[in-house]
Amino acid sequence: MRMADAPTPLWEVFIRSRNGLAHKHVGSVHAADATMALQAARDVYTRRGEGLSIWVVPSNAITASDPADRDTLFEPTGSKIYRHPTFYEVPDEVGNM
């Protein structure tokens, strides 16, 4: 019976597509260290000039919110419609604002 290999660490990959845009999560790669993770991310996620810059972050360094907490986390903004511009009335004669 063969034994499975030792696990290789997981990294999350973020790519900035064009100058001015933020890095966006595109997927993940396995690599032994950060240098190899960057190289793997380059090969796997930018074969067609998708990026100008890559970040790789150890997956276990990310702290995520729990989907089960969604309601309590985000509910408070639901009632604050005055945070949106359309809440305020401006006469048409004033033009674009």
Partner 1 sequence: MYSQALNTPTTLADTSEAATGFQARIDAEDRIEPNDWMPDAYRRTLVRQISQHAHSEIVGMLPEGNWITRAPSLRRKAALLAKVQDEGGHGLYLYAAAETLGVSREELVEQLLTGRAKYSSIFNYPTLTWADIGAIGWLVDGAAIMNQIPLCRCSFGPYARAMIRICREESFHQRQGYEIMLTLARGTPEQKAMAQDALDRWWWPCLMMFGPPDTQSQHSDASMHWKIKRFTNDALRQKFVDATVPQGHYLGLTFPDPELRFDEASGHWAFGEIDWAEFRRVLAGDGPCNRERLAARRRAHEDGAWVREAALAYAAKQHAAPPRAEAA
Contact residues toward partner 1 (CB under 8 A) are 2, 4-10, 27-33, 36, 43-45, 47-48, 64, 66-67
Smallest gap from residue 30 Cβ to partner 1 (A): 6
Burial class (CB in 10 A: 0-12, 13-18, 19+), 69: exposed
Helices (H), 5-47: 34-45
Smallest gap from residue 77 Cβ to partner 1 (A): 20
Smallest gap from residue 76 Cβ to partner 1 (A): 22
Cβ closer to partner 1: 67 or 85? Answer: 67
Smallest gap from residue 23 Cβ to partner 1 (A): 17
Distance (Å, rounded) from C-alpha 26 to C-alpha 96? Answer: 37
Parallel, antiparallel or unpaired: strands 24-30 and 53-58 = unpaired
